[in-house]
Amino acid sequence: MTNFFKIISLLFLTSSSVLADQPKNWQLGFQDPASTGMESIVWFHDYMLLPVTTAITVFVLFLILYACVKFRASKNKVASTTSHNTTIEVLWTLIPCLILIVLAVPSFKLLYEQDTIPKADVTIKAVGYQWYWGYEYPDENIGFDSYMVDEKDLKANQPRLLTVDNEIYVPVNKVVKVLITANDVLHAWALPSFGVKRDAIPGRINETWFKAEKTGTFYGQCSELCGIKHAFMPITVNVVSEDEYATWLNDAKQKFALEDNSNIKVVKNQIKKLN
């Protein structure tokens, strides 16, 4: 019974008002938007797609029920032989076309927003490996690997299957450009609260961007089936103030300094594969 009430109450609450930055039990809607891009996506879903699909579903259901009652066999001993009605045929072609055009306008606007990357304040390169993410901050010459933390090693409040050993840090209210690629098979770098998801393709660099509008820890997962441990290569992003970011960067430059990054990494990975 409690579960029933949970579902009912969730149905009446919008996704943006109750949910936080990681998946929740009984979650139905999106995660809380934390970037301008995700806010637009949630708006498009809540105020365009959902009303239109609901209206269409209710209307079609009404038509089916109406036809079932009005044209039931007991009331219509002799079936009607009508097979064409030009007016109705024109209407049921034109109205869906108009609905699609109305939906297309904000949809293309959204796609264009996502595709046009503003001048980046921070650039991060995310490389998918079987089965972890490698990150580089090319402008800072730092790079590190980010592995999932095992369940037995989790500290308090660290979510299972979403916590990593080395998190990425980004400053709040800054444009972050993410370059995404892979070193072995297809992966995908996805972060729901930023409205970001791009395939990581070996030999090709995809780009995306986000501007986080609030500080906190945000979780994502690899979203392209990439092998047996696909579920165990999460993404953790810490959005921090500019000062905290500068402090982290200072430490990271000591800890994660890259030398001649490309060759060392390739050799390291080849050795790893041989072992």
**Residue (172 or 185) nearer to Cu ion, CB:** 185
Q: CB of residue 230 vs Cu ion: minimum separation in angstroms?
A: 5
192 neighbors 208 (Cβ within 8 angstroms): no
**Residue (226 or 252) nearer to Cu ion, CB:** 226
Q: CB of residue 128 vs Cu ion: minimum separation in angstroms?
A: 5
Binding interface with Cu ion (CB under 5 A) = 187, 222, 226
184 neighbors 229 (Cβ within 8 angstroms): no
Q: CB of residue 165 vs Cu ion: minimum separation in angstroms?
A: 17
CA-nearest of 206, 186, 205, 204 to 196 is 206
**Residue (191 or 226) nearer to Cu ion, CB:** 226
**Residue (179 or 252) nearer to Cu ion, CB:** 179
b (16+ CB within 10 A) / e for 186-202: ebbbbbbbbbbbbbbbe
Question: How far from chain centre, in Å, is Cα 163?
Answer: 17
135 neighbors 178 (Cβ within 8 angstroms): no
Q: CB of residue 188 vs Cu ion: minimum separation in angstroms?
A: 7
Q: What three-state secondary structure class fits 12?
A: helix
Q: CB of residue 253 vs Cu ion: minimum separation in angstroms?
A: 28
d(C-alpha 97, C-alpha 91), whole Å: 10
**Residue (148 or 252) nearer to Cu ion, CB:** 148
CA-nearest of 51, 54, 7 to 28 is 7
- The structure tokens listed for 185 are 């098979």
